[in-house]
Amino acid sequence: MEIVLEGPQEFTAKDGRRYVLREFKMADLNSVVSINRRVLPENYPEWFFVEHHMSFPKAFIVAEMDGELVGYMMNRVEYGWSYINKGKAAHKGHVVSIGVLPHARRLGIATNMMLRGMKAMKRFYDAEEVFLEVRVSNTPAISLYKKLGYEIAGRIPRYYSDGEDAYIMARTLADL
């Protein structure tokens, strides 16, 4: 299905359940903060979410199913050294945080949030490529990113506060 970048878009999941992807709005703040706390050890203060919403509103995506917020993807665009064209600078989309509640997983929700978020970063904020950090032990997320065409571009020792390393994964946005 072609991803829409303006307004809400309804999807039918593999199991027939329906969900909607749309932009984050301030009324979603508590739900997004609570999903983040439930699914990830990396937690952020409320202002951090608000800041991304204010700076990159078109690229902060949430997923709603049966009237409940079940997922979010929060992004920003930065300027710096490219992971794709080594030695050159680029506008880089940065997937800051993505999470889906356990009861809504393996339905394609993260995949579709990623597609919308990546396309929005390209279309609205001129991102030429996209990157993210992920725990080296996070097999589900690494599989998701590989399926979406990301490759491992580096490894940051002890990136996380508990001492675990991060992979940097990246892909071009030229084809999206």
Each residue 103-142 as x (binds Zn ion by CB under 5 A) or -, in order, gives: ------------------------------x---------
DSSP string for 61-109: EEEEETTEEEEEEEEEEEEEE-SSSTTSEEEEEEEEEEEE-GGGTTSSH
Task: Name residue 113's amino acid.
Answer: M
Decide whether 96 or 101 has the Cβ nearer to Zn ion: 96
Touching Zn ion, residues 70-89 (CB under 5 A): none
Touching ligand ACO, residues 80-99 (CB under 6 A): 95, 97-99
Kindly indicate which of the ranges 21-29, 46-54, 130-138, 149-157 contains the residues binding ligand ACO, using the contact rule CB under 6 A. Answer: 130-138
- Distant-in-sequence, close-in-space partners of 51: CB < 8 Å, separation ≥ 6: none
How close are the terminal C-alpha atoms of the chain, in Å? 14
Task: Name residue 75's amino acid.
Answer: N
Decide whether 50 or 142 has the Cβ nearer to ligand ACO: 142
Contact residues for ligand ACO (CB under 6 A)?
39-40, 95, 97-100, 105-111, 132, 134, 138-141, 143-144, 147
